[in-house]
Structure 1
Amino acid sequence: MKQRALPVFLAFLLLTSCSANTSGEPTPTANAPQSKPVPVPSTPSPPPEPQELSLMATGDVLLHPQLLAEAETGDGHDFAPLLAGLEPYVQDADVALCNLETPIGTAPYSGYPMFSVPAQIVTDLAKLGYDGCTTATNHTVDKGTAGVNRTLDTLEQQDLFATGSYRTAKEAAEPPIMTVDGVKFGIIASTYSLNGMRADADWQVDTGVGAAKLIQRAKQAAKDGAEIVVAAIHDGAEYSSKPTEAQRRLGRALAESGAFDFIYMHHTHSVLPIEKHAGTWIVYGLGNSVAKHATPTILNREGISIKATFTRDPKEDWGLSELAWVPHQLSESPVRWCQVATADDCLPAADAKASLARTTQTVNAFDAFDDGLVPWEVD
Structure 2
Amino acid sequence: MLGRGIDQILPYPVDPRLYESYMRSALGYVDLAERRNGPIPEEVPFSYVWGDLLADLEKRACDLRVINLETAITTSEHPAAKQINYRMSPGNIGALTAAGIDICTLANNHVLDWSEEGLTETLDSLDRAGIGRAGVGRSAEEAAQAGVAEVTGKGRVLVIAYGSPSAGVPEGWRAGPDRPGINLQPDSIDATVSDIHARTDGLKRPGDLLVVSIHWGWSWGYFIPDEQRAMARALIDAGAADLVFGHSSHHPKGIEIHRGKPILYGAGDLINDYEGITGHEEFKPDLGLAYIADVALGTGKLERLEMIPYRRHRLSLGRADAQEAAWLADMLRRESCLGGMALTQDAEGSVLLSPAGTPER
SS of equivalent residue, structure 1 residue 95: coil
Matched, 1:368 2:353: no
Change (3 A) 1:120 1:308: farther
Larger Rg: 1
Q: 2:252 aligns with which of 271, 286, 294?
A: 271
2:3 match: 63
Q: Please list the CA deviations of residues 109-166 of structure 1 after superposition, one character each: whole Å capped at 9, or x if unmatched.
A: 9895122221244322212211121111011221121111111111111111101100
The one-letter code of the counterpart of 1:250 is M
Q: Please list the CA deviations of residues 323-379 of structure 1 after superposition, one character each: whole Å capped at 9, or x if unmatched.
A: 221122212xx2211222xxxxxxxxxxx33321221122222253951456479x9
Q: 1:214 aligns with which of 192, 211, 214?
A: 192
Q: 2:52 aligns with which of 65, 85, 88?
A: 85
The aligned length equals 302
Comparing 299-308 with 289-298, which one deviates more in the overlay? 289-298
Structure 1 segment 233-312 matched on structure 2, within 5 A: 233-293=214-274, 294-298=277-281, 299=283, 300-312=285-297
Shift of 1:211: 2.5
SS of equivalent residue, structure 2 residue 68: strand
2:319 match: 339
In the alignment, the residues of structure 1 paired with residue 145 and residue 337 of structure 2 have an alpha-carbon distance, to the nearest angstrom, of 38
SS of equivalent residue, structure 2 residue 67: strand
In the alignment, the residues of structure 2 paired with residue 246 and residue 211 of structure 1 have an alpha-carbon distance, to the nearest angstrom, of 9
Change (3 A) 1:376 1:155: farther
Once superposed, what is the RMSD of the aligned Cα atoms? 3.1
SS of equivalent residue, structure 2 residue 190: helix
Native 8 Å contact 1:109 1:117 kept in 2: no
Change (3 A) 1:371 1:74: closer
Native 8 Å contact 1:103 1:141 kept in 2: yes
Change (3 A) 1:125 1:74: closer
In the alignment, the residues of structure 2 paired with residue 271 and residue 173 of structure 1 have an alpha-carbon distance, to the nearest angstrom, of 27
Change (3 A) 1:241 1:156: same
Comparing 265-274 with 358-367, which one deviates more in the overlay? 358-367
Comparing 251-260 with 302-311, which one deviates more in the overlay? 251-260
Shift of 1:101: 0.5
1:94 match: 63
Native 8 Å contact 1:101 1:140 kept in 2: yes
Structure 1 segment 151-162 matched on structure 2, within 5 A: 151-162=122-133
Structure 1 segment 143-154 matched on structure 2, within 5 A: 143-154=114-125
Q: Please list the CA deviations of residues 24-63 of structure 1 after superposition, one character each: whole Å capped at 9, or x if unmatched.
A: xxxxxxxxxxxxxxxxxxxxxxxxxxxxxxxxxxxxx253
Native 8 Å contact 1:307 1:376 kept in 2: no
Q: Please list the CA deviations of residues 199-254 of structure 1 after superposition, one character each: whole Å capped at 9, or x if unmatched.
A: 37436311126432332233231431252111111112112133233322322222
1:14 match: none
1:5 match: none
Native 8 Å contact 1:275 1:282 kept in 2: yes
Shift of 1:303: 1.6
1:20 match: none
Native 8 Å contact 1:68 1:77 kept in 2: no
Q: Which runs of 5+ in 2 are unaligned?
A: 15-42, 345-349, 353-360
Structure 1 segment 166-205 matched on structure 2, within 5 A: 166-169=137-140, 171-172=142-143, 174-181=145-152, 183-193=155-165, 195-196=169-170, 198-199=172-173, 201-202=175-176, 204-205=181-182
In the alignment, the residues of structure 1 paired with residue 148 and residue 221 of structure 2 have an alpha-carbon distance, to the nearest angstrom, of 32
Q: 2:74 aligns with which of 73, 85, 105?
A: 105
SS of equivalent residue, structure 2 residue 72: coil
Change (3 A) 1:213 1:120: farther
Matched, 1:353 2:338: no
SS of equivalent residue, structure 1 residue 305: strand
The one-letter code of the counterpart of 1:337 is L
In the alignment, the residues of structure 1 paired with residue 8 and residue 297 of structure 2 have an alpha-carbon distance, to the nearest angstrom, of 46
In the alignment, the residues of structure 1 paired with residue 112 and residue 8 of structure 2 have an alpha-carbon distance, to the nearest angstrom, of 23
